Amino acid sequence: MKIEANDKEVRDIFSLGYFKIPRFQRPYSWMEEEIIDFWEDVVIREHSHYFIGSMVVYQTEKPYYGIVDGQQRLTTITLILAAIRDAFLFCKDENLARGVHQYIEKANIDNISEFILNSETSYPYLQGCIQSFERANIQDSLGSEEQNLKSAFELINKELYKRLPKIDVSDPCNELFQQHREQALEILRIIRNKILSLKVVFIQLDNEDDAYLIFETLNTRGKDLTTPDLVKNLLLQKLRTSNIAFDSYKERWNQILKRFDDNGLDEKVVDEFLYHYWLSKHGDTTQKQLFGEIKKYVDSPSKSESENKSKLLLLEFQANSNYYVSIVSPDGYSWTSEEKDSVQKTLKALRLFNVKQQTSMVLALIRAYQEKKITLRMLRNILWKIECFHFIFNAVTSQRSSGSIAPLYSKFAQDLSNTGNLDKIQSVNTNLVRRLKDKLPRFDEFEVNFVSLLYTKSRDKKIIQYILEKLMGKNINALPIDYSSASIEHLLPQSKGDEAIVGSIGNLILVDRKTNGEELRDLDFTEKIKILKSKNYPVDPYLLNATQWSEEEIKIRGKLMAHRAYHEIWCL
């Protein structure tokens, strides 16, 4: 690897040639804090040759370079120069404006104007609205990078004009205008010269492959690289586009990110998706080691084999991102009516339990179903068993897994993913359920925790609602129950007992809001039961046979509910 490193001023760098931000680089992402910090360093501070760090490039062909490190700073410098140019124009000095503009745009060897900094991802906003001497007005459908550029440019202009005297351009013949204009021009010259004299360690490499290796290890002034950044970089470096106008591989990656973004899911979820995908199909690892495992997987002495692996992996990521979104955002996914009644409900329950250990297995199951390896019935049955386990293990008894549950799921997920044989798939599911049974807490531990659930605790409220819905069943009088209109009723009124008793699960039932608010109100226990019987509500036998309602009866009912939950409803 040949590396040349030299100290250079910004004016020399911008005179060298043209710089392109490669497609594997992150978009412009500096926010107000980074911009103000940079502005104060390079403009406010007194310096003659201020050092702003390193810049790493590789030469494609003379005089064109790809930027590996420093693109956030170089873009910000371009924004500052564009703001200075526009300020010169505002002060009615086109010569000075064009003098600055030569560091933004210049003619190539064919005497055709090219922008010195070229970014594909922000096209055409950066080029048309900021770099161009005759500014365009492009406002429709700005993406996140364009919005960042717009905000950064507005902030730089705001800071720049703070340093200039007020100029009334409506009367250019006015003596005060001329005075303020000269003051403004002098200030702009000083800022211009400061920017152009900034010092950089300019590191030049021979080719993109070497640049890619450097890119993996460098940290810039901007945000640290995430695993998705590194994976994108790796795959796009392996998959060279065949058409300069349309990069299909980069577009596939952007579609993955868009799918998460459209569902309100941030980059952290993308990171978790890559991790859970890998666990579901390729092997056990940690999130910190994930990129190394992916790199090891796609690297090959044969370029064609490496490219083929990278292509297949990108296609896998694209398909599985859709499956993963259905898992982490089940309400926003499009389900059939049959899937809603089973698959969606379990996925929502697992979200309610706030557990992730099972995600690799659930992803493998959803993938197998979407690829028609298993039926909806098989999917529904095994998902329900997983829901039952985590209801007992996490939602009620709050067990600590000691790190054994996630690897267990990962192993079975990989076994499932590596076979298309229905009998083997059934065997995988059966063995998984057997292993989960072995890890279940005993009933006596479950019972203690179950009867301790308290409606006044915010953590317990949704779990209690979930439990009462399952205990009630799906229908009343052969009609489906609308649980969205149901509310919790305290059989012993809240005004007549201790909070720990009144709010315990043994004192609670689920009824529709109208019955609760208009008919049950604060009636005594026997009157409430009469009303519920007359409406054919599925009241449990213990309530029907009770002649009084006190702390003792509430505790007994709570234990009966726990027994039914563990041995009948959520039974593995």
Considering the domain boundaries, does residue 447 fall inside one? no
- Contact (Cβ atoms closer than 8 angstroms) between residue 137 and residue 127: no
Task: Please report whether residue 446 resides in a domain.
Answer: no
Comparison of pLDDT for 383 and 143, the residue scoring more: 383
Secondary structure of residue 38 in the 3-state scheme: helix
pLDDT at res. 221 = 42
pLDDT tier for residue 193 given thresholds of 50, 70 and 90: very high
> Per-residue pLDDT for 371 more than 90?
yes
Same domain, 26 and 146: yes
Same domain, 163 and 270: no
Provide the domain limits for residue 505.
453-569
300-342 residue pLDDT tens: 888 899 999 999 999 999 999 999 999 999 998 999 999 998 9
DSSP codes joined into one string, 279-335? HHHT----TTTHHHHHHHHH--SSHHHHHHHHHHHHHHHHHHHHHHHHHH-GGGS--
More confident residue, 200 or 483: 200
* H-only helix segments in 7-138: 10-16, 32-39, 71-90, 94-101, 125
How far apart (Å, rounded) are the C-alpha atoms in residues 234 and 143?
24
564 domain residue, yes or no? yes
152: in domain: yes
Q: 329 — phi, psi (to 5°)?
A: -135, 60
Q: What pLDDT, on the 0 to 100 scale, is given for residue 475? A: 54
Lowest mean pLDDT among 157-161, 265-269, 451-455: 265-269
Task: pLDDT band for 287, please (50, 70, 90 cuts).
Answer: confident
| Residues 8 and 134 both lie in one domain | yes
Q: Are both 57 and 196 inside the same structural domain?
A: yes
| In a domain? residue 322 | yes
**Token pair 């006044």: residue:** 456
Write the single-letter amino acid at 229.
D
> Helix crossing, 443-451 with 551-564: angle to 10°?
140
What is the reported pLDDT for 556?
96
56-94 pLDDT tens trace: 888 888 899 988 888 899 999 999 999 999 999 999 899
Judge whether 448 lies within some domain: no
For residue 494, pLDDT beyond 50: yes
Phi-psi region of 53 (alpha: psi -120 to 50; beta: other; left: phi over 0): left
Domain count, the chain: 4
The pLDDT value recorded for residue 222 is 45
Same domain for 139 and 64: yes
Q: How many CB atoms lie within 10 A of CB 254?
A: 15
Query: What confidence score (pLDDT) does residue 417 get?
Result: 96
Q: What is the DSSP letter of 486?
A: E
Whether residue 210 is found in the same domain as residue 233: no
Q: pLDDT, tens digit, for every residue of 386-444?
A: 999 999 999 999 987 667 899 999 999 999 999 999 999 999 999 999 999 999 999 99
136 and 24 part of one domain: yes
Pair (56, 201) in one structural domain: yes
The total number of residues shown for the chain amounts to 572
One domain for residues 250 and 310: yes
Domain identity same for 33 and 143: yes
Residues 533 and 390 in one domain: no
Last residue of a domain, one of 400, 415, 441: 441
**Residue 194: which of 34, 42, 12 has the closest Cα?**
42
Q: Are 226 and 267 a contacting pair, CB within 8 Å?
A: yes
Q: Are residues 302 and 349 in the same domain?
A: no
| Entry pTM | 0.67
